[in-house]
Amino acid sequence: MPSTSGYTMPFGTFRRSIMGIGNDHSHNQIHSMDVSGDSSSDFHCELGSFEHQVFRQFRTLSAASADELLSLDWVSKLLDAFTACQEDFKGILLKHESNLGKPPLDRFVTEFFDRSIRALDICNAVRDGIERIRLWNRHLEIVLSAFDSKSRNVMVEGQFRRARKALTDLAIIMLDDNKESTSLFSHRNRSFGRPNKGKDGQHKAGHSRSLSWSVPNSWSASKQLQLIANGLIPPKSHEISATNGLANVVYTMGFVLMFVLWALVAAIPCQDRNLQVHFSVPRQFSWGTPLNLLHIRIMDESKKRERKNSVGLLKEIYQMEKSVNLVTDLVDSVNQFPLTEEQKAEVQTCVQDVSQVCNAFKNGLDPLERQLREAFRKIMSCRTEGLEHLARAQS
């Protein structure tokens, strides 16, 4: 994918430069908005504070170490950053309700809420991805159980047969990505928006309705992201002036929403995920610098040889893939019993690696799903309340 940023400095220099950006620099960029002369200083500070909030949140995320980037912990922080920005954005919209019905702000706000519908679908798709990881983890737990004997010094052929079957089942599930995603997950018909209860809640796989059920089979994460990105155009100077700078706020939150969704799809297995979504990180905003750095780092991660065919860039998925390959090779290599001492030691090492991955998923997936659910609700709440305020302003 061609570079979308326009930056030409070396990556190391670029990353160091972002950490040297201080409050004064971002403060000046934030207040470079073209707002009308009768705007109060409090209004300037309010809008500037929001832009600086976005800058701070993503500067912290962009400074993550190589080991932390795209880990469960990092994705959790990403969702924290999003909800913080979303709350500030919602507060600004509701505080300036009287301006929402005036053109061109009414158009910017309406388009933002339209993009929110696609965002809710992507949240559902990411939730399905989390459920898929849980299924993988259950197979890993069977592998651990197979080698969990009272006498660690005695390992018999039956244990290896059980472990081999669990590993084979896991490989089939992970390789047959699209088929398994529909047969194993869409029939659950779960969503953050409405639980599946009773006969009325039943829904056939492949005919799921957006926003109410998990996404249908023909749904594409990459296409939805591209549709969101296509509508993100920085406001022109006269539009900024006409809205007293509020157009910049709506655009900023729209870009944050799109970028967070893109990062989630990059990390978590999703239906038809493809990171080649074309968008340009704007350079005229202070927050453009950390977001551009994150975009570069995530794309670089996806281009690594060992990650190119991965179902998700989540660090724990990569650790799972490595540990599964090691234990599979070991299980396939053992054809004589009893095991030698060296083989026993290798088994224990592999089991410890698998155990670490299982624990990471066990401890991290539930909190992550709760955060995703909260983000879903905040997006939906902002849209519902925002449309009500917009209708009142236009009446």
Q: Are 310 and 317 in contact (CB under 8 A)?
A: yes
Q: What share of the chain is helix, strand, coil (3-state, %, to 5)?
A: 70, 0, 30
DSSP, collapsed to helix, strand or coil, labels residue 3 as coil
pLDDT of 153 reads 64
**CA–CA distance, 144 with 125 (Å, rounded to integer):** 29
How far apart are the C-alpha atoms of 27 and 388, rounded to whole Å?
A: 33
Taking the C-alpha atoms of residue 369 and residue 372, their distance in angstroms, rounded to an integer, is: 5
**Backbone dihedral angles phi then psi of residue 217, each to the nearest 5 degrees:** -65, -30
Beta strand segments in 115-266, E: none
* pLDDT score of 276: 84
The tokens for 38 are 């009768």
Q: Are 349 and 329 in contact (CB under 8 A)?
A: no
User: In the prediction, which pLDDT does 151 show?
Assistant: 55
CA torsion angle 170 175 178 182 (round to 10): -20
Q: Give the pLDDT score at 130.
A: 96
Residue holding tokens 């990390």? Answer: 267
- The answer to whether the CB of 186 falls within 8 A of the CB of 204 is no
Per residue of the chain (395 residues), what is the pLDDT tens digit?
Answer: 433 333 333 444 444 444 444 443 434 343 333 344 444 577 778 899 999 999 999 999 999 999 999 999 999 999 999 999 999 999 999 999 999 999 999 999 999 999 999 999 999 999 999 999 999 999 999 999 998 865 556 788 999 999 999 999 999 988 865 444 433 333 333 455 444 444 444 433 333 333 333 667 789 999 999 999 999 999 999 999 999 999 999 999 999 999 999 999 999 999 888 888 999 999 999 999 999 999 999 999 999 998 888 899 999 999 999 999 999 999 999 888 888 899 999 999 999 999 999 999 999 999 999 999 999 999 999 999 999 999 999 88
Nearest-5° Cα angle at 289, 316 to 308: 35
Q: Are 293 and 18 in contact (CB under 8 A)?
A: yes
pLDDT attached to residue 167:
95
- Angle at CA 158, nearest 5°, toward 154 and 164? 110
- What is the spatial distance between Cα 226 and Cα 279, in angstroms, rounded to a whole number? 8
| The dihedral sign for the CA sequence 232, 233, 235, 239 | negative
In terms of Cα–Cα distance, which of 260, 252, 262 is closest to 108? Answer: 252
**142-178 burial code (b ≥16 CB/10 A, e <16):** bbbebbeeeeeeebeeebbeebbebbeebeebbeeee
Are 316 and 361 contacting, i.e. CB atoms less than 8 angstroms apart? yes
pTM score, whole prediction: 0.82
Nearest to 259 by CA among 85, 106, 380, 136: 85
Handedness of CA 98, 101, 104, 110 (dihedral sign): positive
Q: What is residue 177's predicted lDDT score, i.e. its pLDDT? A: 52
Q: Assess contact for 109 and 93: CB atoms under 8 A.
A: yes
The string of DSSP letters for 76-102 reads: HHHHHHHHHHHHHHHHHHHHTHHHHTS
d(CA 126, CA 313): 13
Interatomic CA distance for residues 63 and 15, integer angstroms:
8
CB atoms within 10 A of CB 202: 10
What are the domain boundaries of the chain?
A: 48-175+217-394
**pLDDT at residue 382 in the model:** 96
Q: Look-up: residue for tokens 């997006």?
A: 379
